[in-house]
Amino acid sequence: MFDLAGRMPGRFRALVLLAAFASLRWGEVSALRRCDVAEDGSWVRISRALVEVPGRGLIVGPPKSRAGVRTLIVPAAIRRDVVKHLDAFVKPEHDALLFTGERAGNPVRRPNFSQRTKWTEVVAKMGLKGLHFHDLRHAGNIWASKAGTSTKDLMARMGHDDMRAALIYQRATSDADERIADRLSKLVDQHRTGNADDDDDGLSGQPVPVG
């Protein structure tokens, strides 16, 4: 994720990181103001969202659901990036937008973001062809689930009223864990049948060097 963020123009690096690590929707992250973020980057408050309405342009409204109004702790790993962004790209006013275009401080529309960042080309070069911005939120949800988050807490972080979405991510994590367990079992089976090299598989009692 840091590789992808690093390939963005400077003013959009923190946008990508927050969308992923805080599991934010496009409308939520694009609506953030200076007053919605801690000065030290330790939390972010979601209280509104920008919505594209045909014939009316961008409209400020509430988040997608009642649970969408929430305050999230920002992982320490990206707080420095958030603070740098505040210092470099955000006006001092209390209600100044966190993410804007280069001119006039206007909100960023998703098509303009894709064009300015050359999103399609960038993700293709990274071997991630077809990756959409919304996939950043999906990734964040999966990471949160892998961290052992309860269904209730995962729902709160995602901003969902319905537990079905949270259960989907938890089930995906469980499935991945099952695949890992299956692979480990196969290693054991190979070792027992003598098909694996004892010096390489780490199952003979000798530790396998790391790094």
As annotated, the active-site residues are 25, 134, 137, 160, 169
Amino acid at 37: V
How far lies 162's CA from each of 47, 50, 152, 195, 202, in Å? 19, 22, 10, 48, 44
As a whole number of angstroms, the distance between CA 208 and CA 211 comes to 10
As a whole number of angstroms, the distance between CA 11 and CA 88 comes to 8
- Among the listed residues 2, 33, 209, the one whose alpha carbon sits nearest the alpha carbon of residue 107: 33
